Amino acid sequence: MPVPTAATFARLADLIAIPDAADRPTRSVVEAFTGKELATVPVGTAQDAKDAIARARVAQKEWATRPVAERAAIFHRYRDLVLENRDALMDMAQAETGKSRAAAQEEVLDISMTARHYARVAPKLLRPRRISGMLPGLTKTVVRYQPKGVVGVISPWNYPMTLAVSDAVAALLAGNAVVLKPDSQTPYCALACVDLLYQAGLPRDLFAVVPGPGSVVGTALVENTEYLMFTGSSATGQLLAEQAGRRLIGFSAELGGKNPMIVTAGANLREVTDAAVRACYSNSGQLCISIERIYVEESIAPEFTRMFGDRVRNMKLGAGYDFGIEMGSLVSEAQVKAVSSHVDDAVVKGATVVAGGKARPDLGPLFFEPTVLTGVPEDAECYRDETFGPLVSIYPVADVDEAIDRANDTEYGLNASVWAGTKAEGEAIAARIHAGTVNVDEGYAPAWGSTGAPMGGMGVSGVGRRHGDDGLLKYTEPQTIATTRILNLGGPRGLSPKVWAKIMPPFVKALQWIPGR
């Protein structure tokens, strides 16, 4: 198996922004498939984070003076390096997380697509923009975009490459520096990606990686940076939002989801069945935008349940650094316990297991079968709470209206999937769903992969957006520069204030006839 070598881990460890790392306490990093130690990582402190921020702030001042096209050239090179090193990156992603090869490839492709998109559009988005002034001909108004300064990024373990780097790409292109706190279980995934950024020409102090506890390093980031980007649980996001609010700094977050799928009577069930496997079990279901609730019209619910159950029971589950495995392991014992708890609780309260339902220690310490439930009662934990694992429940509904009502009956609002008889019907249903992204005839990939469109959550599923123009401009401070020409608002010299006051109202009223006013 192509597990990264000790030499690789040692080389990447040298990139950590912690001085005298060899003398620090360390944390073990294990291979998820086997539980064997891969390497150790030094545990950063609040002072390490503050020192990295101070160095980043110095580097950012020079970086912000560079032309945007010069910054963009680095990310075009980065995109190429990511694709050239895709096998090594996928190996690292699988080693630290236990995900399947296909899920690891999603990370590599997303990083390259995001880097390409923002490198291509950043020069235009950040260009000073002339707008209509207060008084046409007398006022010139220009909007400029100033970088925030140092951006703190706190990334999770489930997509430890793309969520560590893709948000940082936009922040860096906007002229900022970045200090990243990766998840303690997956630090080398982040370092492998940052290594390629340095190779592409990014100044090292401009992007620092400081591993360590969220309560320590994460707190130091929110207390000392000018903007915070977080991906993780809704509970942690709420806490960080409070901390950011006290400092009046910008904050953006993609948080949890209890994402629904709607299947109408006219849908092609064979296509739905195959796509639902991807939608529910990609990355072993450890994906904020994966599907956990499926609402199916009653007339087709038995057939769909049979077909989907058969397909899930026949999924290939296992450890493998190749594309032959459909689903890998979970990332930690805590995740295995969380999924087991939700399944056991639902069954005790009356739910039926259609497929899966058990841990698989015979395959490795962190494996759990892809699981399908029916008959889940409202008092079951998995009815409303996010599982964040390979567990999905099927709920028959009388009609489309009931499906939409139940899909929207949640505090979350991150992602949804719709399958109907026609594209037009699917799009009409999608427009009625309270979610930041909705995929018609797929699970999550088309909306996520549309890097030119905003992606994020409603309700407790998030604040702000990544991707799209908002995903870059949120890392800037818009600045309006208005220049008065010919005469100022006091009126022409020699004209009495009384006369000038009479002239102004009809003049302002006449502005409505000017195009664009």
Mean pLDDT over residues 299-311, rounded? 98
Phi-psi region of 21 (alpha: psi -120 to 50; beta: other; left: phi over 0): alpha
Residue 134 pLDDT: 79
Shared-domain flag, residues 138 and 232: yes
Task: Tell me: do 250 and 272 sit in the same domain.
Answer: no
Q: End of a domain among 411, 427, 456?
A: 456
Torsions phi, psi for 206 (to 5 deg):
-75, -25
Task: Identify the three-state secondary structure at position 170.
Answer: helix
**Residue 232 shares a structural domain with residue 294:** no
3-state SS assignment for residue 263: strand
Nearest alpha carbon to residue 203 among 65, 373, 20: 65
Question: What does the block give as tokens for 251?
Answer: 């904050």
Q: What does residue 324 show for φ and ψ, rounded to 5 degrees?
A: -85, -15
Query: Which of 106, 107, 254, 326 is flagged as catalytic?
Result: 254
Looking at the predicted structure, is the pLDDT value of residue 508 above 90? no
Radius of gyration, CA atoms only, the chain: 26
| Residue 146: partners with Cβ closer than 8 Å, 6 or more residues away | 175, 476, 477, 478, 479
Predicted confidence at residue 516, as pLDDT, reads: 58
Contact at 8 Å (CB) between 155 and 179?
A: no
**Is 62 tagged catalytic?**
no
Asked if pLDDT for residue 490 goes beyond 80, the answer is: no
Tokens of 358: 């058990």
pLDDT digits (tens, 9 = 90+) for 471-484: 999 999 999 999 98
- Is residue 79, in this structure, part of any structural domain at all? yes
**Which of these three, 404, 423, 456, is where a domain ends?**
456
Neighbours of 270 (CB within 10 A): 10
The single-letter code of the amino acid at 450 is S
Distance CA 339, CA 358 (A): 9
Domain shared by 111 and 213, yes or no: yes
Residues 327 and 347 both lie in one domain: yes
Please check whether residues 193 and 85 belong to one and the same domain: yes
Place of tokens 């994020």: 456
Whether residues 248 and 263 fall in one domain = no
Q: Tell me the two tokens of residue 91.
A: 């190996």
Which pair of tokens denotes residue 427?
């799009």
Residues 237 and 368 in one domain: no
What CATH number has the domain bearing residue 172?
3.40.605.10
Mean pLDDT over the full length of the chain: 95
Write down the pLDDT at residue 514: 66
Rounded to whole angstroms, how far apart are CA atoms 119 and 69? 8
Q: What is the pLDDT of residue 485?
A: 82
Q: Do 247 and 264 have their domain in common?
A: no
Domain containing residue 270: CATH number: 3.40.309.10
Is residue 439 very low, low, confident or very high in pLDDT (cuts 50, 70, 90)?
very high
- Looking at 423, 456, 489, the residue that finishes a domain is 456
Note down the domain range covering 427.
259-456
The answer to whether 448 and 437 have CB atoms below 8 angstroms apart is yes
Does residue 151 lie within any of the structural domains?
Answer: yes
Predicted confidence (pLDDT) at residue 163 exceeds the cutoff of 90: yes
Residue 132 is predicted with a pLDDT of: 84
Q: Are residues 139 and 274 in the same domain?
A: no
Banded model confidence at residue 137, pLDDT cuts 50, 70, 90: confident
Does some domain include residue 496? no
Which amino acid is residue 321, in one-letter code? Y
489 is a domain residue: no
Listed residue (316, 327, 251, 325) closest to 286, CA to CA: 327
Domain annotation covers residue 187: yes
Question: In this structure, are 357 and 443 located in the same domain?
Answer: yes
Q: What total of structural domains would you count in the chain?
A: 2
Range in 139-143, 364-368, 496-500 the model is least confident about:
496-500
- Give the pLDDT score at 511: 67
Phi, psi of 13 (to 5 degrees): -60, -30
What value does the mean pLDDT take over residues 165-170?
97
Same structural domain, 145 and 205: yes
Across 349-358, average pLDDT: 98
Split at pLDDT 50, 70, 90, the class of 517 is low
